[in-house]
Amino acid sequence: MDSEKVVNMVPKMKMNKSFITFGLVIVLLVILALDAFVIVNAGQRGIVLQLGAVRPIVLTEGLHFKIPFVQSVVPMEVRVQKSQSEQTAASKDLQIVTTTVAVNFHLDPIQVNKLYQNVGLSYGERIVDPAIGEAVKAITAQYTAEELISKRSEVSAKIKETLASKLATYYMVLDEINITEFKFSQEFNNAIEQKQIAEQQALKANLDLQRIEIEAKQKVEQAKAEAESLRLQKQEVTSELVQLREIEAKIKAIEKWDGKLPNVTGGAVPFIDVNSGQ
């Protein structure tokens, strides 16, 4: 009886082993199938590594096939990235200037594999930030502190040109650069403030001087006009005009008289010349 059970169990054991083997094969095939495909997301490129070596191909967005266990894919961002930092440099007149710079850049999608091969994923720390600092210092040294403010757009354009050249060496493209702020030492700020006050005072003094000169000219012209008026009046005065003015004065006096003689003591009656008009 026992020998019969053993005989019956042998086929069952073989069958179980076959099922296990088949199951392992299926699992292995599934794993291989899953590892044979890779998806590159939007805004990224895929760097193909074959046994650790960078392949010369770059995978674009979408689904791609790769050799399982032999090839791997490293995604890299090719959309616009931003780097903002404060850079301290010396101006042409040896003023310490702290510049806040915002930089927009992106990786060259076609040559992103070369960037990975030469620099790796830490390109921001290794390349971008040092390049920004070097470009800012090189251009800042060409201008005085006041020129950095008055020629801001020109300074920004030169920094952009210098930085674009440096980033292009490492397969990166500079999109835009913005200088958001210039900071100077407190001593320089005080000097600028004093200069502005002096310029305002000088402007006010100049305006006051112009006002005084204008008022003086106006007085001279007014005096000339009055003198000319008097001269003309003298030319027009004649003996007939004098007599006419005297007659007008006497007529006005008679019109104002109320008919009463003034009260006098011990004197003659005042004489009124009524024939003076003859």
The Cα 170–Cα 166 span in angstroms is 7
Letter for the amino acid at 149?
A: I
Given strand 44-50, what is the order of strands in its sheet? Answer: 53-59, 44-50, 71-77
The pLDDT of residue 215: 79
Q: Which residues, other chains included, contact 82 with Cβ-Cβ below 8 Å and sequence gap of 6+?
A: 102, 103, 104
Has residue 209 been placed in a domain?
yes
Q: Does residue 264 lie in a domain region?
A: no
The reply to whether 218 and 174 lie within a common domain is no
Task: Please choose, from the candidates 82, 75, 81, the residue with its C-alpha nearest in 3D space to the C-alpha of residue 61.
Answer: 75
Residue 100: enclosing H or E segment and its boundaries? strand 96-107
66 & 108 share domain: no
Instruction: Quote the CA–CA distance of 172 and 166 in Å, as a whole number.
Output: 9
| Confidence at residue 277, expressed as pLDDT on a 0 to 100 scale | 43
Per the structure, how many domains does the chain have? 3
N-term to C-term CA, the chain: 188
Tokens, residue 168: 């292009």
Residues 190 and 184: their CA atoms lie apart, in Å, by: 10
At 5 the pLDDT is 52
Task: Supply the pTM of this predicted model.
Answer: 0.59
Residue 43 lies in a domain: yes
In whole angstroms, give the CA distance from residue 198 to residue 266: 84
Q: CA–CA separation, 259 vs 246, rounded Å? A: 21
- Residue 230 is assigned to a structural domain of this protein: yes
Query: Do residues 51 and 138 share a domain?
Result: no
- In a domain? residue 212: yes
Pair 276, 251: CB distance under 8 Å: no
Predicted local distance difference test score (pLDDT) of residue 270: 52
Backbone angles phi, psi at 73, to 5 degrees: -125, 130
Residues 87 and 169 in one domain: yes
In this structure, the answer to whether residues 113 and 168 fall within a common structural domain is yes
Same domain? 142 vs 107: yes
| Same domain, yes or no: 169 and 208 | no
pLDDT less than 50: residues of the chain: 1, 6-7, 271-272, 274-278
Write out the residue range of the structural domain in which residue 211 sits: 200-245
Residue 121 lies in a domain: yes
pLDDT tens for each residue of 65-97: 988 888 899 999 999 999 998 988 989 988 889
Q: Do residues 115 and 108 lie in contact, with contact meaning Cβ atoms separated by under 8 Å?
A: yes
> Looking at the structure, do residues 95 and 118 belong to the same domain, yes or no?
yes
Say if 268 falls within a structural domain.
Answer: no
Judge contact between 175 and 80, C-beta under 8 A: yes
